[in-house]
Amino acid sequence: MGEMDTLKKEADGLKAQIEAARKAVNDTTMAAVASGVAAAPRVQLKNRKTLKGHLAKIYGLHWSADNRHMVSASQDGKLLIWDTYTGNKVYAIPLKSSWVMSCSMAPSGNLVASGGLDNMCTVVNIKAASPKTLRELDAHEGYLSHSRFLSDTELLTASGDTTCCLWDLETGKQKVIYKSHVGDCMCLAVSPDQNTFISGACDSTAKLWDIRDGGCKQTFIGHTSDINAIAFYPSGTAVITGSDDCTLKMYDLRADQEVNGYQDAALNAGVTSVSLSSSGRLIFAGYDNFNCNIWDSLKAEKVGVLSGHDNRVSCIGVPDDGLGVCTGSWDSFLKIWN
């Protein structure tokens, strides 16, 4: 047998072994376990604020750790930083490339990052006398789909080149490269303890990574199309993924498998974005069909809907204090609900 055949045989054997091990612990379903839990109340959230100012499709939003400010990115070529309590724009940052796909704010509130089809992640210091570009992180060979700061000195990025990367912002160089996906990486989320992060890709898998050593610890399968959105459960022991296959899934990290699925035969729009309420009970999912559905994460039932946008909901976020949820849309508006 040639080496290629031997390797293929071993790979198939290991995949079968993993599947068997997952089956062996699959002694019940989350739905069965949660049947005794009281239903979540029918959630009726009102649109409290509409933030107007972008002139084109919004592709990303990220709340500040101060629960009040927020950064949003639009293909009108601007990053806007909002004071969501007043609805005022605090900063407007013009982008070199208007093909932006994502944005994020550092926990300190000092830095924002954005990137897209320019394959770069641009980091801007918004607390300088006037907003000033700190770094242009330029090593990915594909578009930048997502970024998240660990601190003012470290940033994680996900790229269409199928890799994710940890950058040292003091030097502008790559510290760790996370390679294992075989499709464009579309999203990432950092664990509450900041030791691991999870990525979702166009190869329909989600992968859990050790931030420091770059190793892929676990791979979650089950989706049948691109995973566009991913979020950690606040406990840090599960992740929620949203996909072009129109479903969301909950994967438990310790059981190493899917434990719940959120789908509806009537829904045939892909999921673009996902965020959770502070207890994890409610999942907010944005879809291609202009709505945001609210799911009970335990019972897998739809418990509400946020409708009001005139185009695809492209991004969603809940601030750390859980006091509201913000949706961003291709209709150029951001809406805050609670």
Partner 1 sequence: MLVVGIRLEACQPDSLGQVFPQDSIRLDFKSLTSGVEAKMSSKMPSSNNIAQARRTVQQLRIEASIERIKVSKASADLMHYCGEHAKYDPLLMGIPASENPFKDKKPCTIL
Q: Of 53, 91, 98, 245, which lies in the binding site for partner 1, with binding defined by CB under 8 A? A: 98
Instruction: Determine the Cα–Cα distance for residues 238 and 253; give it in Å rounded to an integer.
Output: 5
Which listed range, 47-55, 102-110, 131-139, 265-273, lies at the site for partner 1 (CB under 8 A)? 47-55
CA diameter of the chain: 70
Residue 195 near partner 1 by CB under 8 A: no
Size of the site for partner 1 (CB under 8 A): 85
The 3-state DSSP composition of the chain as helix, strand, coil percent (nearest 5) reads: 10, 45, 45
Residue 6 is encoded by which pair of tokens?
Answer: 């031997």
Least CB distance to partner 1 at residue 319 (A): 10
The per-residue DSSP string of 205-233 comes to -EEEEETTT--EEEEE---SS-EEEEEE-
Residue 88 near partner 1 by CB under 8 A: no
Q: What is the DSSP letter of 320?
A: T
Residue 4 near partner 1 by CB under 8 A: yes
When the beta carbons of 4 and 265 are compared against partner 1, the nearer one is 4
Q: Of 164, 189, 211, 226, which lies in the binding site for partner 1, with binding defined by CB under 8 A? A: 226
**With b meaning 16 or more CB within 10 Å and e meaning fewer, what string describes 98-118?**
bebbbbbbbeebebbbbbbeb
Least CB distance to partner 1 at residue 69 (A): 12
Least CB distance to partner 1 at residue 71 (A): 17
When the beta carbons of 112 and 319 are compared against partner 1, the nearer one is 319
When the beta carbons of 111 and 229 are compared against partner 1, the nearer one is 229
Q: Of 216, 222, 261, 301, which lies in the binding site for partner 1, with binding defined by CB under 8 A? A: 216
Residue 164 is encoded by which pair of tokens?
Answer: 């994710």
Instruction: Determine the Cα–Cα distance for residues 272 and 72; give it in Å rounded to an integer.
Output: 16
Q: At 4, phi and psi to the nearest 5?
A: -60, -45
Footprint of partner 1 on residues 250-309 (CB under 8 A)?
Answer: 252, 254-257, 259, 277-282, 297-298
Residue 102 near partner 1 by CB under 8 A: no
Q: Of 125, 174, 218, 263, which lies in the binding site for partner 1, with binding defined by CB under 8 A? A: 218
When the beta carbons of 14 and 128 are compared against partner 1, the nearer one is 14
Residue 214 near partner 1 by CB under 8 A: no
Residue 49 near partner 1 by CB under 8 A: yes
Which listed range, 105-113, 147-155, 168-176, 180-188, lies at the site for partner 1 (CB under 8 A)? 180-188
- Region label for 138, one of left (φ > 0), alpha (ψ between -120 and 50) or beta (otherwise): beta
Footprint of partner 1 on residues 111-170 (CB under 8 A)?
Answer: 117, 142-143, 160, 162
When the beta carbons of 191 and 257 are compared against partner 1, the nearer one is 257
When the beta carbons of 7 and 128 are compared against partner 1, the nearer one is 7
Instruction: Determine the Cα–Cα distance for residues 81 and 91; give it in Å rounded to an integer.
Output: 5
Residue 11 near partner 1 by CB under 8 A: yes
Footprint of partner 1 on residues 308-327 (CB under 8 A)?
Answer: 318, 321-325
Is there a contact between 274 and 231 (Cβ–Cβ < 8 Å)? yes
Q: Which residues contact 287 (CB under 8 A, 6 or more apart)?
A: 246, 267, 269, 270, 271, 272, 293, 312, 313
Pairing mode of beta strands 271-276, 282-287: antiparallel
Q: Which residues contact 36 (CB under 8 A, 6 or more apart)?
A: none
Q: What is the DSSP letter of 296?
A: E
User: Per this entry, what is the length of the chain?
Assistant: 338
Which listed range, 88-96, 126-134, 247-255, 265-273, lies at the site for partner 1 (CB under 8 A)? 247-255
When the beta carbons of 88 and 151 are compared against partner 1, the nearer one is 88
Least CB distance to partner 1 at residue 207 (A): 10
Query: Residue 197: which of 222, 180, 173, 183 has the closest Cα?
Result: 180
